[in-house]
Structure 1
Amino acid sequence: MIPPDEVMHGAPLAKGLLRLLSPGGTRGLSILIYHRVLPQPDPLFPAEVDAAAFSAQLGMLKACCTVLPLPEAVRCMKAGTLPPRAAAITFDDGYADNATVALPILRRHGLHATFFVATGFLDGGRMWNDSVYEVVRRAPHDVLDASMLGLGTHPLHTLADRRRAIPALIGQLKYLPLAERHDKVARLVALAGVPLPDDLMMTTAQVQGLHAAGMAIGAHTINHPILARLSDAAARDEIAHGKLALEDLVGAPVTLLAYPNGRPGEDYDARHVAMARELRFEGAVSTSWGSRRRPDLFQLPRFTPWDRSPLRFALRLARNLATKAQLA
């Protein structure tokens, strides 16, 4: 991530480079995806953004782009009035540090973000992948033997071992049917025999606090399923009931949707785009790279800013503007 002390010196270079690589004031929209903003770096996830790095990235983004609230950017795209090098900030899932860590930093920079919340995990819930992360983090032994679950045996002697075990387990679980995945994760937790945190996700009061602070709240289904693996009726219920739950929570319309996982044609498809339109969303976002002058407002691409220098950050923004996004 961008060290904070590089922002002052690197921002002019990055801004000039972005202008050079996007001539004519390219009017694409760069939408950034975040999930968590940690108070301090986490050795198990060294690439996860922390508070200092997030603040530095926001400074870079302000220097390089015209940063808009995503609902406003969607309206501008629809009207053909999007400014050059526009950008928007989004968060997925509904982690508690979005409210406790990210929000104060956003307010300090005078910036807006849209928070896509999966309602089934509020108030003490935990996403299945976080259960896996925390099992691997907290497992007291040097080996996690999950072979009885069909998940293999994973050495945990070192931090590097634990870093490798996480994607190995996630990859085996991600695309299982929802009920089977839930069962295997629960059995994995029981096998490890360690207590797991119940404060990773936001409370309803924290979601309401984000809304009261002027941030946008977007739908992200109830249980964060892979929509393409559900029946049409189940997928529609996940989208619709997640939207309604948030509207009841904040007392305002929820106009934007983020498809869980978000890969076009793999995690969602044209059926789910049609559902978003029918449910009267104004737009929806994927996790496909790219920026388009004539976008599908219900398949807006996004990218994650993993960069460690102003130059690379600017190059990633420019690459996003130059890439034609994949659609379902």
Structure 2
Amino acid sequence: MVKRVVERGLHLAGIPGRRIRGRSSGTVILSYHNVVPRGESPVGDRSLHIDQARFGAHLDRLADTHDIVPLGTLVPGTAPSGRPRAAITFDDAYLGTITAGFEELARRGMPATVFVPAGLLGCEGFWWDRLASTSGGLSPSVRDHAMERLGGHQHRVLDHAVAEGRRPEALPDHARPADEPTLLRAVADSDFTLGSHTWHHVNLAGVPLDEALTEMRRGHEWLRTLENRERAVDWLAYPYGHSTPEVEAAAGAVARCAVRVEGGAAEVQGRWVAADHRLPRVNVPAGLTSDGLSLRLAGLR
């Protein structure tokens, strides 16, 4: 509560807005995951599931300070002019994203890109949501074992959990990845595009390099199969935000650009802060208020 009061006071004082406007020609790539439709409850790893009303408030706040641009139009290394820019992205292709999230974006005429783990479309839910505790979190021991010992691989993690006597939770539709036909219908004739999140959403930094390269290639091959190629962008998002210099070099042979989950602004006053295949994003957790988002975009949080 204290934090939110402070955030509100800073916003009303105009400090974040002035700081953002002072960063003319800055570029941020926002990283969201799922949007929980009105009337539904968040489940799974709660940090990833923002409610629809709060997401709409984020968009309104963002429009006050940034021009919202399609991810595919960004050209790293160039120095744009005018207001700061923002590209909105989602990881994982949750059904909530392409229903409630797309509804809020379309209402405001805003574009966005969804990074798709194509090999998991239509599955019963991601391991991190199905193994989260009832309090909405994932224990560090479960996460560490899944990421480091099992490579973040969906089927290996769930099989190991069952072998250990854990029962993966059933999830409502909005907290599962969309199936392929539903996803493609949602982006047809829209301002929404699809990028690659590899094939099986494995930890590319935790599997052999040849497996990592296969995952990246299969994800991009799926993009090339889309009937409406205008809906595909030649971008990759590293699952879990994890990569290595070797993975990033391999990504250069697959995708035009690749992004992490965190790291802040991608471009500040004409200077792109990283190479094309390790571009940062501004991570937006579900609990972040619109005032908190302003502070984060201003580099104050």
Same fold (TM > 0.5): yes
Task: State the one-letter code of the partner of 1:225.
Answer: V
Q: Does 1:176 align with 2:156?
A: no
Give the one of 229, 247, 251 matched to 1:272: 247
Residues 227-266 of structure 1: matches in 2 within 5 Å? 227-252=204-229, 253-262=232-241
Equivalence for 2:31: 33
- Asked if 2 retains the 8 angstrom alpha-carbon contact of 1:174 and 1:181, the reply is no
**Relative contact order (C-alpha < 8 Å, sep 6+): which is higher?**
2
Letter in 2 for 1:20: R
Residue among 19, 22, 45 paired with 1:21: 19
Q: 1:45 to 1:294 in 2, by over 3 A?
A: closer
1:219-234 superposed matches below 5 A: 219-234=196-211
Structure 2: distance between partners of 1:16 and 1:94 = 35
The answer as to whether partners of 2:43 and 2:136 remain within 8 angstroms in 1 is no
1:315 matched to which residue of 2?
295
| Residue aligning to 2:125 | 126
Task: Indicate if the aligned counterparts of 1:256 and 1:283 stay in contact, CA closer than 8 A.
Answer: yes
> In structure 2, do the counterparts of structure 1 residues 192 and 206 end up closer, same or farther at CA, with 3 Å as the change threshold?
same
The structure where strand makes up a greater share of residues is 2
Question: Could you tell which deviates more after superposition, 103-112 or 194-203?
Answer: 194-203
Question: Greater helix percent: which structure?
Answer: 1
- Identical positions, percent: 26
Structure 2: give runs of 5+ residues left out of the alignment: 1-7
Are the equivalent residues in 2 in contact too, given 1:210–1:216 (CA < 8 A)? no
Specify whether residues 67 and 194 from structure 1 end up closer, same or farther in structure 2 by C-alpha distance, changes over 3 A only: closer
Q: 1:82 to 1:256 in 2, by over 3 A?
A: farther
Moved more, 268-277 or 169-178: 169-178
Following the alignment from structure 1 to structure 2, what is the Cα–Cα distance between the partners of residues 256 and 55? Answer: 25
Q: Per the alignment, do residues 83 and 202 of structure 1 end up closer, same or farther by CA in structure 2, a change over 3 Å counting?
A: farther
Question: Counterpart in 2 of 1:105?
Answer: 104
Superposition misfits of 4+ residues, deviation over 6 angstroms:
none
Match of 1:84 in 2: 83
Tell me the distance in 2 between the aligned counterparts of 1:164 and 1:130.
9
Deviates more, 1:115-124 or 1:12-21: 12-21
Q: Structure 1 regions of 5+ residues with no counterpart?
A: 1-9, 138-161, 324-328
Shift of 1:23: 5.9
The aligned residue for residue 3 of structure 2 is none
In our comparison, the structure showing a higher alpha carbon Rg is: 1
Q: Is the 8 A contact 2:161 2:168 kept in 1?
A: no
CA shift in 2, pair 1:88/1:59, >3 Å: same
The two structures have a TM-score, normalised by structure 1, of: 0.74
Residue 29 and residue 173 in structure 1: after superposition, are their counterparts in 2 closer, same or farther (change >3 A)?
same
Secondary structure of 2:123's counterpart equals: coil
For the residue of structure 2 that corresponds to 1:229, the secondary structure is coil
**Is this contact kept in 2: 1:204–1:249, CA < 8 A?**
no
Tell me, in whole angstroms, the C-alpha distance in 2 between the residues paired with 1:24 and 1:180: 43
SS in 1 for 2:63: helix
**Distance (Å, rounded) in 2 between the aligned partners of 1:251 and 1:164:** 38
**1:67 aligned partner:** 68
Q: 1:220 to 1:83 in 2, by over 3 A?
A: farther
2:272 aligns with: 294
Q: After alignment, is 13-22 or 45-54 more displaced?
A: 13-22
* Residue 256 of structure 2: aligned partner: 282
For residues 215 and 289 of structure 1, the distance between their equivalents in structure 2, rounded to whole angstroms, comes to 24
What are the Cα deviations for residues 168-204 of structure 1, in whole angstroms up to 9, with x where unaligned? 5323322223398744532434634576248411111
Following the alignment from structure 1 to structure 2, what is the Cα–Cα distance between the partners of residues 258 and 86?
A: 19
Change (3 A) 1:15 1:235: farther
How far apart are residue 18 of structure 1 and its match? 3.3
User: Offset at 1:207?
Assistant: 2.2
